[in-house]
A and B are shown apart, each in its own frame.
Chain A
């Protein structure tokens, strides 16, 4: 089997089909059951009131939108980090972003915590600050990629340590909130911010897509990339900033949703090869669909209660990924 050549022309329709299916599932399933015809009816009459209309328009649509946005951002940034660091194990949180975001969130919940937007704002700043710190360390070292990864792990640990220290002094309730928040939660979408977040994310994804050739070249290692004409320092800064911004936005909007950024890029590479011209848009679409679908499942299996979405992404994603590995391994 040659993953790179198979389905070359089918990838886009397949991706879109997957996303479409996930969105329909996300809108149809939940505590309030809907039939397909009801859903169509509700979508065609946005002005109508009533429980089901409210549920679809006010709850499920924003949530599906948020899941799609976060899924896209995580999958694309995971793709970029894996390519730039040449490390198949890289996930969006590898460069200490999770630690920074966590610290920011806990700071917000412990000390400021009056307005609900302080949490995403500080998580966002924390994530960027951690990235910046990693980058400073790495620059000082003329970074090999493993230096970057090590710096990321260290900054992450440092943040975790400060966080643990803070939690000793924090009241129990903000701590509990912060932990829940960090586990990833799509219910608390700041609806006001969603359009801006979506705008920035889409621009970043398009920007990264436009540099698909650059990402291809980066997978050959920075040494080779330099010989192929890449200004490593500048381009890597650009890629880190773009991918880091994507992660920070995702974290600020939904906490730390795991697994999407690790598994989706790999799954697509296994299906359609590693060329970023295809990989970036496919990761964006599949990542969005994957998280929308996972969230639909999370809301449905134990309805009226819900399962944390990170549990579903791992429970569904890991076996599927292992199956793909095995399938392609033959």
Chain B
């Protein structure tokens, strides 16, 4: 080695480490599901509860057997969708702590916050003396679980990544929070909405199904694939997702949008990002642009597995029927 012969061993180590780091990061990027694919599920444990309430054993989303008070009094929610669900159950009086990201309903923001969704403060949680902490399974690291267990704080995990899981979560939360009936009602509302949509879609027939692009972010262009909650909701509302079947949240580019030329483009603009209309309007040959089918639906209606996904489902169905009724012949033409 003549050229770099003065790399000292330490520098070689640094180079090698950098290369490895970059490669590992790259692989993680390609397999985003790697963190959330369970793996902590074996941490089964029964938190010894000091209280004298009647207790029941529940199985949570991590497969842990959790012994919980039948009527918890002080609940901390570390999941925005759970916070929303608790309000929908009418159990908000039990809620003593939320995260910075729990912004709905608006009064949830008045509750004590314990930090960010992905990095809650354990001290803040402990200070609230909760008898139940509800956490998202993909945020429940073994270390966090262990710490909370050592503090004798019971933890219940949820993992609503699909419509079915969302329905179950609503039912389970009802059971865990001691309002089983409300949970069942909430769950059956969602079930009914889905069943109703299925009927409608069936009546409309497969020909009327437009091809839809569901975008999550515009810059870069990240879209929702079929194996996601928004993707499932789209299928339920009678749209055909243009993303590759089985995909999660791939990054696309405009070329792919042009190549697939969807009938409808749905965007969920965030405050402060460029408007979807402006973004797609640059390409007038897009069918969705020509027919005015670039539509905005609030991100929380589609991406947050709480009670508002009924709104999301209805909005999706509305968009699809609007598109079909306004330009039926063109939509049908694309299906040939």
Contacts and interface: CB of A to CB of B under 8 A. Distances in A.
Interface of A: 1-3, 30-32, 49, 51, 54-55, 58-60, 88-89, 109, 113-114, 116, 168, 171-174, 176-177, 180-181, 183, 185, 187-188, 258-259, 266, 269-270, 273-274, 299, 302-308, 310-311, 314-315, 318, 322, 325, 328-329
Contacts of A304: 243-244, 250, 252, 256, 259-260
Contacts of A302: 250
Interface string B254-290: 1110111100000000111110000000010100000
A174 B252 CA distance: 19
A218 to B, nearest CB: 16
B285 A185 contact: no
Interface stretch (B104-112, B157-165, B215-223): B215-223
B2 interface: yes
B285 A49 contact: yes
A145 B23 CA distance: 29
Contacts of A315: 23, 26
A181 B285 CA distance: 27
Given A259-B22, A299-B253, A305-B252, A328 B220 contact: no
B270 A55 contact: no
A113 B273 contact: yes
Contact of A59 (B3, B22, B25, B255): B255
16 contacts: A32-B259, A55-B258, A88-B11, A173-B299, A258-B22, A269-B4, A270-B4, A304-B243, A304-B244, A304-B250, A305-B252, A306-B251, A306-B256, A310-B22, A311-B26, A328-B3
Contact of B14 (A49, A54, A89): A89
Interface in B229-264: 243-244, 247, 250-256, 258-261
Contact of B271 (A60, A173, A303, A307): A173
Contact of B30 (A176, A188, A299, A311): A311
Given A31-B253, A55-B259, A177 B217 contact: yes
A89 B11 contact: yes
Interface of B: 1-4, 6-7, 11, 14-15, 19, 22-23, 25-26, 29-30, 101, 116-117, 217, 219-222, 243-244, 247, 250-256, 258-261, 270-274, 283, 285, 299
Interface class of chain B by DSSP: loop
Contact of B253 (A59, A259, A270, A328): A59
A171 to B, nearest CB: 7
A54 B283 contact: yes
A89 B250 CA distance: 33
Given A259-B22, A274-B3, A328-B2, A173 B273 contact: yes
Contacts of B29: 183, 307-308, 311
